[in-house]
């Protein structure tokens, strides 16, 4: 049973890798809004957890299946659901029967190694989360959901159900407006929830080096997307002040908090100073583009 789970997971990880590489390439297009790229990053992380999906002749997997994959139909009805099998090491799939005993033994052994490390990484993540929560519990209330703490070096948002904005002691009040706007954007977008989901996904798919690269890029795009959200409400003269506030921050090293000073500072400042507000037509165009990309990447080969 465990080896079957690992076989399916291994194939899902390959699908997520292909999709993640596509998102990486799209991210190189500077004219694309970072909020759009950030939304698209949800696709590879979702593919890590979804073994089957609707089929489509427009799916990216349809193109790939001509060379390296086999589509296994799970349900054939009004809507076809299929599993994209990249490894092609099995003859039957319910239950999975491997072509040779060597493959059976290989996946059986690998499945135990996978589960031990996956559980260990998940436990480590939980421990880090608990330690972080313990360190921040003594933060002093400033107002509303804003707290002050001497345990952090950069403004950050912590928590999922009841998120708090944590400000370091002795911070410049002149920068507070932009800090709160940025951290409020994290809260509005539920970034900490997505952050935890991405970390758990990486822990489960730990054997895939691409996933760790995707996690790093996803966290960077989170900060860039929040910058764009704040800048959308700023006038032209405020961009420099926002960039100055960013320079006053140091990077947070905790993966469980969304920090104002996180991601590559130089890259963020360049984007802040060159930011142009989108027109209504641009917003509609990018929304249609995101839906089309999502359809192509989330569906399986027909």
**What is the residue extent of each domain of the chain?**
2-301
Position 13 scores a pLDDT of 93
Position 72 scores a pLDDT of 53
Residue 145 pairs with which residues in a beta bridge? none
Position 254 scores a pLDDT of 55
Position 161 scores a pLDDT of 86
Contact 50, 297 (CB under 8 A): no
Residues 6+ apart with CB under 8 A from 139: 147, 148, 149, 151, 164, 166
**Residue 200 corresponds to which tokens in the numbers above?**
């758990």
Position 173 scores a pLDDT of 63
Query: Hunting for tokens 């991601």 — which residue is that?
Result: 263
- The pTM of this model reads 0.84
Q: What averages of pLDDT result for each successive group of 10 residues across the chain (302 residues)?
A: 85 91 93 92 92 77 64 51 62 63 82 96 92 85 87 84 86 75 92 94 96 95 92 86 77 55 73 85 91 88 70
Rounded to the nearest 5 degrees, what angle is found at the Cα of 283, between the Cα atoms of 279 and 286? 135
């Amino acid at each position: 049973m465990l080896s079957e789970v690992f076989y399916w997971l291994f194939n899902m990880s390959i699908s997520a890798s292909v999709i993640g590489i596509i998102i990486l390439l799209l991210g190189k297009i500077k004219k694309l809004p970072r909020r759009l790229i950030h939304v698209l990053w949800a696709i590879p992380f979702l593919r890590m957890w979804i073994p089957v999906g609707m089929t489509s002749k427009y799916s990216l997997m349809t193109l790939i299946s001509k060379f390296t994959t086999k589509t296994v139909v799970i349900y054939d009805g009004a809507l076809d659901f299929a599993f994209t099998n990249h490894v092609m090491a099995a003859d039957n799939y319910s239950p999975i029967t491997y072509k040779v005993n060597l493959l059976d033994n290989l996946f059986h052994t690998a499945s135990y190694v996978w589960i031990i490390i996956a559980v260990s990484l998940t436990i480590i993540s939980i421990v880090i989360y608990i330690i972080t929560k313990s360190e921040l519990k003594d933060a002093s209330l400033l107002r509303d959901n804003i707290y002050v703490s001497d345990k952090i070096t950069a403004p950050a948002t912590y928590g999922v159900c009841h998120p708090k904005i944590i400000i370091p002691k002795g911070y410049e009040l002149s920068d507070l407006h932009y800090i709160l706007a940025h951290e409020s954007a994290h809260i509005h977008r539920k970034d900490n929830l997505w952050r935890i989901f991405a970390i758990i996904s990486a822990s489960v798919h730990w054997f895939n080096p691409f996933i760790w690269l995707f996690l790093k890029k996803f966290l960077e795009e989170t900060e860039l997307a929040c910058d764009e959200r704040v800048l959308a409400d700023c006038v032209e003269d405020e961009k420099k002040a926002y960039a100055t506030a960013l320079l006053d921050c140091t990077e947070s090293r905790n993966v469980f908090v969304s920090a104002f000073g996180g991601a590559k500072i130089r890259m963020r400042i360049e984007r802040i100073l060159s930011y142009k507000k989108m027109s209504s037509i641009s917003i509609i165009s990018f929304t249609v583009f995101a839906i089309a990309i999502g359809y192509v990447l989330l569906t399986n080969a027909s």
